[in-house]
Structure 1
Amino acid sequence: MNKIVAYIRSRLQPYYTAEEVSALSRIVCCDLLGQAPTDYYLGKDIALSPKKEQELEDILQRLSRFEPLQYIEGRTLFLGREFWVAPGVLIPRPETEELVELMLKEIPADARILDVGTGSGCIAISLAKELPDALVTAWDVSPEALSVARVNARKLQANVRFVECDVLACQVDEVGLYDVIVSNPPYVTEAEKADMEPNVLQWEPSLALFVPDDDPLRFYRRIAVLGRDMLADGGRLYFEINRAYGREMVEMLRTMGYVRVRVKKDLSQNDRFVIAEK
């Protein structure tokens, strides 16, 4: 083991498991400091300039505060594309990739799509790239998130219209404008905070994560209300949901008049997606 790797591991051991420390040391050396993976696995030392030494110290300090690696790197992969992420936007999850893959199997190539709560833009941009004939609009309440999403759309050359909008407060008269409304809104209850990792709880935006314990479906209900006007006949809602509320989601949407309501499981066999038709 080279000296730099030993140093990185000694600094991170108080904060992470042995498995996490091993993975982080490789990522820091290869992805952030530029060491060739072959040299890393052969245990070769890295010659660091004073600037690189300071960069390493900054990385280790940030990791010791449980800052997510994606924020430190400034990027993450989503369906094979690189997205810029920064504090203020939720880091895309694999389950959301599953949601987009499901939609790509089901929605028309020229669909008019609205993504509510776009964050980094990963859903809207991915759909726009895979369905170049689609018309994609994305809303978010956060100007900071919209700035990140616009940069990602520009870098990836995706045609998406971004709009600052608070879905809980906005009044919309765009009747029948969309064929699809998709959303991965906040769905973690306040009671679930106790089980969350510090890298999520302390760093990712609470605005994009949490809902009150006494109203966990508030965003879904509001989007479904808007969908009754904004969706064309036969249009669909696609939701990523809290796995604990699949049955309640189905009951709510049926009560609101939606048909062919179904729950689909993610790869971990949790209730994760709900689809409904107007």
Structure 2
Amino acid sequence: MILTTLKNQFLQELIQYDVTERNSLFFITIEECLAINKADYFLYRERELSIEQINKVAKVLSELKKNVPIQYIFHRTYFYGMSFFVNDNVLIPRQETEELVEWILRETPKNTPLQILDIGTGSGVIAIALKKYLPEATVFALDISEKALEVAQRNAKENKVSVHFLQEDILKVTHLGRIFDIIVSNPPYVRNSEKREIALNVLEHEPHLALFVPDDNPLLFYEKIAELAHQHLSKQGKLFFEMNQYLAKEMIQMLNRKGFRKVVLQKDLSNHDRMILATIE
């Protein structure tokens, strides 16, 4: 079989994805399995493939047809210019979270010895990216999941940054132990009733613990973190959240009730209310 025939077969079998995503998945697969990037494909598309090469791609295709995210298949994703190990103990980081990191970096002086806390760190992408681009900062990262923290620690080591990881259930924490200049969190925020909007590859494979909240208390993590932040932020400290696009009004009202005087809402690239910044003064 030649490469172009393999591509046609690959695209025909992934009927649950749109054409753009199918093409993207194909080029990721051949780069990982065959060391052929997208540019090389057009040079080598008439190349005859070995049985071993065909079988490698077929194995990936089989997993994709089961809606397994490609990041879990190859245990690799990319975030803010860095490579990260991922498995099904952690969420796959999204573009919106990169936008959150970009906003934090725009709002933060680079050569300042800040104290930063990332709550619900998962794979560690936020904490690690902030430490990479704010090298003078001391960064702490907290998560309830021991297995998620193992992933985050591996990623910190691979990206050669020092982050202090803590295993805690934030809903049970009463004191953070120090004052922070920045507290950031991307906690669970998808309501159970919104599951119908979630893609099958997410719904069937990514950890629900990190995704979903009860319909009758969708801000439970935000309320707890806001209370802790109000007690443990420095005078000019900042609280950043990624949030549910449908709950912007409720978020602003909650933060005002918790004592945050200035609240700034930020849209993502899809024009959804996705991020929020709150300060006490």
- Identify the TM-score tier after normalising by the shorter chain: over 0.9
Q: Structure 2 residue aligned with 1:136, among 130, 135, 139?
A: 139
Confirm whether residue 265 of structure 1 aligns to residue 263 of structure 2: no
Shift of 1:46: 4.2
Equivalent pair of 2:88/2:206 in contact (CA under 8 Å):
yes
Equivalent pair of 1:68/1:199 in contact (CA under 8 Å):
yes
Shift of 1:20: 2.8
Q: Which runs of 5+ in 2 are unaligned?
A: none
Mapping for residues 5-16 of structure 1, pairs under 5 Å: 5-13=7-15, 15-16=16-17
Aligned match of 1:61: 62
Q: Structure 1 residue aligned with 2:6, among 4, 7, 29?
A: 4
Confirm whether residue 230 of structure 1 aligns to residue 235 of structure 2: no
Structure 2 SS opposite 1:168? helix
Supply the distance in 2 between the matched residues of 1:78 and 1:61 (Cα, whole angstroms). Answer: 26
Q: Structure 2 residue aligned with 1:171, among 158, 174, 177?
A: 174
Q: Which amino acid aligns with 1:2?
A: T
- 1:186-211 Cα shifts (integer Å, max 9, x gaps): 00000110111101111111111101
Confirm whether residue 97 of structure 1 aligns to residue 98 of structure 2: yes
- 1:153-208 Cα shifts (integer Å, max 9, x gaps): 00111110000011011232525x21111000000000110111101111111111
Aligned match of 2:128: 125
Shift of 1:4: 2.1
Equivalent pair of 2:189/2:213 in contact (CA under 8 Å):
yes
Equivalent pair of 1:3/1:45 in contact (CA under 8 Å):
no
Q: Which runs of 5+ in 1 are unaligned?
A: none
Shift of 1:141: 0.5
- 1:43-94 Cα shifts (integer Å, max 9, x gaps): 22342243x4443232111101111111112111111111111111111111
Aligned match of 1:248: 250
Supply the distance in 1 between the matched residues of 2:12 and 2:272 (Cα, whole angstroms). Answer: 37
Shift of 1:23: 2.7
Confirm whether residue 26 of structure 1 aligns to residue 38 of structure 2: no
Confirm whether residue 189 of structure 1 aligns to residue 210 of structure 2: no
Supply the distance in 2 between the matched residues of 1:230 and 1:19 (Cα, whole angstroms). Answer: 46
Structure 2 SS opposite 1:2? helix
Query: Aligned pair in 2 of structure 1 residues 193, 39: CA closer, same or farther (>3 Å)?
Result: same
Equivalent pair of 2:123/2:148 in contact (CA under 8 Å):
yes
Supply the distance in 1 between the matched residues of 2:277 and 2:39 (Cα, whole angstroms). Answer: 46
Query: Aligned pair in 2 of structure 1 residues 36, 174: CA closer, same or farther (>3 Å)?
Result: closer
Supply the distance in 1 between the matched residues of 2:6 and 2:54 (Cα, whole angstroms). Answer: 10
Kindly report structure 1 stretches of 4+ aligned residues shifted beyond 6 Å: none
Equivalent pair of 1:189/1:210 in contact (CA under 8 Å):
yes
- 1:216-251 Cα shifts (integer Å, max 9, x gaps): 111000001111222222211100110111111111
Supply the distance in 2 between the matched residues of 1:274 and 1:36 (Cα, whole angstroms). Answer: 38
- 1:112-138 Cα shifts (integer Å, max 9, x gaps): 000000011110000101011101000
Shift of 1:272: 1.1
Equivalent pair of 1:4/1:46 in contact (CA under 8 Å):
no
Supply the distance in 2 between the matched residues of 1:75 and 1:173 (Cα, whole angstroms). Answer: 32
CA RMSD of aligned residues (A): 1.7
Q: Which amino acid aligns with 2:222?
A: Y
Q: Which amino acid aligns with 1:44?
A: E
- 1:85-114 Cα shifts (integer Å, max 9, x gaps): 111111111111111111111124321000
Supply the distance in 1 between the matched residues of 2:76 and 2:96 (Cα, whole angstroms). Answer: 18
User: How many percent of aligned residue pairs carry the same amino acid?
Assistant: 42
Shift of 1:19: 3.2
Equivalent pair of 1:32/1:73 in contact (CA under 8 Å):
no
Q: Structure 2 residue aligned with 1:274, among 267, 273, 276?
A: 276
TM-score with structure 1 setting the length: 0.93
Q: Which amino acid aligns with 1:84?
A: F
TM-score with structure 2 setting the length: 0.92
Shift of 1:271: 1.0
Mapping for residues 35-114 of structure 1, pairs under 5 Å: 35-42=36-43, 43-50=45-52, 52-108=53-109, 109-114=112-117
Shift of 1:35: 2.6
Supply the distance in 2 between the matched residues of 1:188 and 1:130 (Cα, whole angstroms). Answer: 29
